[in-house]
């Protein structure tokens, strides 16, 4: 299966997760800054990842390059999402960027896979929560980094 993992990252946490995910599924990790339309379209599974900033915004590189995503032909494409956030420092906007990306890809008629349980997290609100589940894999590299490998492995087993 051809898997492309497109991410934005500043501090390196999301890049590190993207690298882990791509290695576990023999995929390619691509920074959104250098991504091309082919990176979004020429794969069987597209995985998108972003950290959430402050009060719930996309990472800067995603904001600057969102038109790459909006211009991609994703109708019927299998897309999975992951987000990194800090549920203790930002409990009111935990992994909101994942919710923003979800809205973007569903508008393009992609088929989103990999919804996950909210159990085991301690936050107040998240736009990435829909119908009681996260729209993808929520990761807190600040307070729950020890759970990342287990969560990534379990999540990949459901989407591959």
- Between CA 30 and CA 17 the distance in angstroms is 12
- Contact between residue 52 and residue 85 where contact means Cβ atoms under 8 Å apart: yes
Percentage of the residues of the chain whose pLDDT score is greater than 70? 100
Domain boundaries, the chain: 3-153
Predicted local confidence at residue 156, as pLDDT: 98
Does residue 54 register a pLDDT over 90?
Answer: no
> Mind listing the pLDDT tens digit for each residue in 110-141?
999 999 999 999 999 999 999 999 999 999 99
User: What CATH code is assigned to 3-153?
Assistant: 3.40.50.360
Predicted local confidence at residue 55, as pLDDT: 86
């Amino acid at each position: 299966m051809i898997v492309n993992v497109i991410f934005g990252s500043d501090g390196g946490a999301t890049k590190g997760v993207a690298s882990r995910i791509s290695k576990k599924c023999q995929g390619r990790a691509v920074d959104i800054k250098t991504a091309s339309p082919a990176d979004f379209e020429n794969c069987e599974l597209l995985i998108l990842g972003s950290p959430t900033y402050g009060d719930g915004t996309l990472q800067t590189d995603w904001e600057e390059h969102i038109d790459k995503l909006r211009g991609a032909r994703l109708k019927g494409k299998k897309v999975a999402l992951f987000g990194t956030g800090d549920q203790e420092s930002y409990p009111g906007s935990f992994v909101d960027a994942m919710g923003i990306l979800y809205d973007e890809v569903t508008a393009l008629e992609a088929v989103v896979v990999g919804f996950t349980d909210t159990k085991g997290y301690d936050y107040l609100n998240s736009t990435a929560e829909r119908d009681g589940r996260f729209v993808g894999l929520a990761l807190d590299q600040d307070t729950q980094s020890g759970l990342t490998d287990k969560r990534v492995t379990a999540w990949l087993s459901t989407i591959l």
